[in-house]
Chains A and B, each alone.
Chain A
């Protein structure tokens, strides 16, 4: 994925992350993961995934979610599902 596309995708998902984790100034990068965001627990993770599914009208499988370890993995998945950056 081109860096410009990643940047645009991050801009698209950042408001969702800020809302779910209730952090209005949260910034995220490809390296961001559950241990680097306060409040990213299992319930928040589910809420975030479902919010992404609803906003982008996509579905994630259990296997895809199991392989997702960081925002970079999420960006790749979003692109595979046709969410453009």
Chain B
């Protein structure tokens, strides 16, 4: 996996980057251990079904963590710092499932370097989450050293 190196001058309003990634049952188990969120809704199919869900569901912030990979690796990539992040979940995600994450530049403040992003997460065409993020992107001409 490569990391993009967009500087502020490389970005434009409407610019889009997308990634696809799979969320597996093993990912959910690992995220439960990492986060400490061991709710049975994430770890037990039986429990989830009794709650009228199709099966155990992925943690919302695991999905958010994958959105972080879009921001950190692709839009804007290495020269961006995440400043704020809002996420709204629209549908539960039952692993294993492939998700598509698409980010679009919605505003650029050239003076401050702040770049706003609108991001959607879908699985098989179904909307899973909508996000808004603000990043600070380097103005300068540094070259990547990674």
Chain A residues within CB distance 8 Å of chain B? 43, 45-47, 49-50, 53-54, 59-62, 64-65
Q: Are B111 and A59 in contact (CB under 8 A)?
A: yes
Output the nearest chain A residue to B83 by Cβ-Cβ distance.
Answer: A43
Which one of A50, A53, A54 has the highest number of Cβ atoms from chain B below 10 Å of its Cβ? Answer: A50
A51 to B129: give the CA distance in the assembly, Å: 25
Q: Are A49 and B109 in contact (CB under 8 A)?
A: yes
- The interface bits of chain B over 80-121 (1 if a CB of A lies within 8 angstroms of the residue's CB, else 0) are 000100000000000000000000000101111110000000
- Nearest 7 pairs of A and B residues by beta carbon: A60-B111, A46-B112, A50-B109, A65-B111, A49-B112, A50-B114, A46-B114
Q: Are A64 and B83 in contact (CB under 8 A)?
A: no
Output the nearest chain A residue to B139 by Cβ-Cβ distance.
Answer: A62
Chain B residues within CB distance 8 Å of chain A? 83, 107, 109-114, 134, 136, 139
Question: B84 to chain A: closest CB distance in Å?
Answer: 8
Q: Are B83 and A59 in contact (CB under 8 A)?
A: no
A61 to B111: give the CA distance in the assembly, Å: 4
Question: A20 to chain B: closest CB distance in Å?
Answer: 12
Q: Are B109 and A53 in contact (CB under 8 A)?
A: yes
A53 to B109: give the CA distance in the assembly, Å: 8
Question: A54 to chain B: closest CB distance in Å?
Answer: 8
Output the nearest chain B residue to A58 by Cβ-Cβ distance.
Answer: B111
A53 to B134: give the CA distance in the assembly, Å: 15
In the complex, chain A residues whose CB is within 8 Å of the CB of B112: 45-46, 49-50, 60, 65
